[in-house]
Amino acid sequence: MKKILKFGGSSVANGESIRQVASIIENTLNAGDDVFVVLSAMRGVTDALIEIAIGTREGQYVEPKLQEINELHEEAILELGLDSDFALVTTFGQYSSQIIDHLPNCPGPSIDFNMWKDSLLCFGELFSAKILSAFLKKSKIDTEVLDARKVVVTDSNYGNAYVHYQKSYDRIREYVMNRSRLQVITGFLGANEYGNTSTLGRSGSDYSASIFGAALNVDEIEIWTDVDGILTANPNLVDRPISIAELTYEEAMELAHAGAKVIFPPTMIPALYKRIPITIKNTFHPEAPGSRISQDRVLGGEVTVGLSSVSHVSMIRLQGAGMVGVKGINARLFTCLADKGISVMLVSQAFSEHSTCFALKPDETEKAVLAIEDEFSKEFKMKYIDKIRVESDLSLVAVVGEGMQTTPGIAGVIFEVLGRERINVEAIAQGSTKRNISFIVGDMDVKRAIQALHRRLFETV
């Protein structure tokens, strides 16, 4: 089988975990599989580099932070017994001085800042890939680093770049065609058509794995992380979350968008298009089966697969008798928000059309209210719209599962559970695909809501 093995930052936290990663790679190779490795930066490194970028822009002294990053890598090199690897040590010296040289070019708070920042962030992935590759070589595995910037072509939306799939696929295929060594690929990175470094969004190396998987037509993408797969609920909220054995791409996407942190949502796109299954596995517990995401999950007895939530959101309600039957109110509402770059997380409108409400991030509420007051100033004056209400400290909860499309009564079960817990529901929305029922409760109730639903839906007594 041809496989992508992707390891996240927590799997490359230190020398010991890098050993564990190497042994997983070795076992897969020994099983006769054809392997490509995609790697994130070591744990905490991207965060630290972002702090350095911001600190530099603000004129702070970033030297100690830089030192921390160097030490983290140096310790790993020592722990892995790679300190005598001359090529590796030299590369490190070069990278470190490239970082130092790069800092004074910081352009201040302009659009160019993101471009400059991406050229700094790339060192996280370059460092970790070098270390893993050197360690694999020491273990007699013939490998080399593939700097993804050579082959992943993106637009210039630095920090969150869009990948040009076809161009990237062509380059990836051409690049690997005549190479027999195991490729250790830097996740998260790309370059625009002028060769400027770009990054694919925080946690974007999952996405890299999927892009390389689709380009190379692999049979399977394995995402190795530090939990036993995608869980039925956030382990910080419930005592006994269960790893979901199988789920469809759509279910995984619904869960990820609704806050489950295991997989970066865009990851699913290239894999889904090529129908490549994705398995989420635990680097530190490789015996666990993990979660398998594919198109053909057997729709068995389970109606729902998981719960997820996003806390600290706000909601805006727009109310007025003058909204009933009037065409174009919603169009104007969401256009004026979009024009201000405000993203809406959930929408609900009652059939009476008397009110519409939507959820958004709290730091965007003020901007949203101003935009709405401006757009509907006439309606406010005429009292067609009488109220605009902002509520805060709310949580969105999503119950996800393909089986809900064909099983009557599931909404009844959900709201009965909440009723019994005396939890007040602020708004409800069911995704048009019916595989997601979402609702809003107060932040203070979210833990209880998730716990009660988890008991009812996933913990069989």
For residues 70 and 127, give the distance between their C-alpha atoms in angstroms, rounded to a whole number.
10
Residue 41 partner contact from Mg ion, ligand ASP, none using kind-dependent CB cut-offs of 5 to 8 Å: ligand ASP
Give the one entry of ligand ASP, Mg ion, none that residue 294 binds, where binding means its C-beta sits below a cut-off of 5 to 8 angstroms depending on kind: none
- Round to whole Å and give the CA distance between 347 and 355: 11
CB closer to ligand ASP, 41 vs 323: 41
3-state class of 237 per DSSP?
coil
Residues of this chain that interact with ligand ASP (CB under 6 A) are 8-9, 40-41, 46, 124, 187-188, 202-205
Beta strands in 332-456, from DSSP E residues, in sequence order: 346-349, 355-360, 387-400, 427-430, 436-442
Applying CB under 5 A, does 401 fall inside the site for Mg ion?
A: no
- Kindly state whether residue 9 participates in binding Mg ion, applying the rule CB under 5 A: yes
Smallest distance from the beta carbon of 332 to ligand ASP, in angstroms? 37
CA–CA separation, 331 and 336 (whole Å): 8
Q: Which amino acid is at 82?
A: L
Listed ranges 9-17, 282-290, 308-316, 343-351: which one lies at the site for Mg ion (CB under 5 A): 9-17
CB under 5 to 8 A by kind: which of Mg ion, ligand ASP, none does 365 bind? none
Look at residue 124 and give the partner it binds from ligand ASP, Mg ion, none, a contact being a CB closer than 5 to 8 Å depending on partner kind: ligand ASP
Rg (CA), the chain: 24
- Tokens representing residue 408 in the block: 């009557």
Q: How many Cβ atoms sit within 10 Å of the Cβ of residue 265?
A: 18
Q: Are 284 and 229 a contacting pair, CB within 8 Å? A: no
Q: Which of 11, 17, 20, 40 binds Mg ion (CB under 5 A)?
A: 40
Smallest Cα–Cα separation from 27: which of 130, 139, 181? Answer: 139
- Nearest approach in angstroms of CB 207 to Mg ion is 11
Q: Which is nearer to Mg ion, 8 or 290 (CB)?
A: 8
Binding flag, residue 290, Mg ion (CB under 5 A): no
- Give the nearest distance from C-beta 36 to ligand ASP in angstroms: 16
What tokens were used for 350? 């009652």
Terminal Cα distance for the chain, rounded: 40
Question: With respect to Mg ion, which residue has the nearer C-beta, 8 or 270?
Answer: 8
Q: Which of the listed partners (ligand ASP, Mg ion, none) does 249 bind, with a CB threshold of 5 to 8 Å by partner kind? A: none
Give residue 46's identity as a one-letter amino acid code: T
Measured from the CB atom, is 116 or 188 closer to Mg ion?
188
Q: Is 267 in the site for Mg ion (CB under 5 A)?
A: no
Site size for Mg ion (CB under 5 A): 3
Q: How far is the CB of 49 from ligand ASP (least distance, A)?
A: 9
In whole angstroms, give the CA distance from residue 434 to residue 406. Answer: 9
Which of 283/356 has CB closer to ligand ASP? 283
Helix (H) or strand (E) holding 333: helix 329-339
Residue 202 binding result from ligand ASP, Mg ion, none, given CB thresholds of 5 to 8 Å by partner type: ligand ASP
98 closest CA partner among 61, 70, 77, 75: 70
Binding site for Mg ion (CB under 5 A): 8-9, 40
